[in-house]
Amino acid sequence: MYPEPPSGQLASTTDPHPFFEILNQTGHAVAAKRLKVRYYYTKEPEGLELGTCFWLTGAESVDDVKFDFEDLSPVTETANRYMELSFPQSTAQLDRAPFEVRTGFHTATSGAYIQTNDYSYDSEAAPLPASGVFPYRASSKVTFVLG
């Protein structure tokens, strides 16, 4: 799973970019439409959240990604919201090849998110060789759910 792209680990941004790489290790294919991914964060800016998918492998279109933004209950010190991604229209089958989803989100007011207090953000991540993106070290910081 990947957070903010190059130019350093930004402590504050108006447009966080969580990137996810999902590997199926079950030994059998899983329909992408059964998968949900949750990214946990603290929402500082006011306004409605809007999500964008920039890249999606193993599916027909970035339009296959559905964004839901929800309050977390109970609230923690490092998260009061989560972004949930799902793929209800996808016909993709996840097998051994990585399934990559590159997203971004912001508020309509373009307020700043302080990422250093976000549960799913890792400022210690190092860039992947030759890719220029920063991986998360602990996959437990994101929830993957099969429905």
Are 25 and 132 contacting, i.e. CB atoms less than 8 angstroms apart? no
- Asked whether residue 2 is domain-assigned, the answer is no
pLDDT of 80: 93
| CATH code for the domain in which residue 124 is found | 2.60.40.710
Are 32 and 93 contacting, i.e. CB atoms less than 8 angstroms apart? yes
- Collect the ranges in the chain with pLDDT lower than 70: 1-10, 58-60, 122-147
Q: What amino acid occupies position 130?
A: A
- Asked whether residue 3 is domain-assigned, the answer is no
Q: In which domain, by residue range, is 76 found?
A: 12-146
Threshold 0.85, pTM exceeds: no
CA atoms within 13 A on the CB side of 42: 16
pLDDT digits (tens, 9 = 90+) for 90-111: 888 887 777 788 889 999 888 8
Domain total in the chain: 1
- Asked whether residue 77 is domain-assigned, the answer is yes
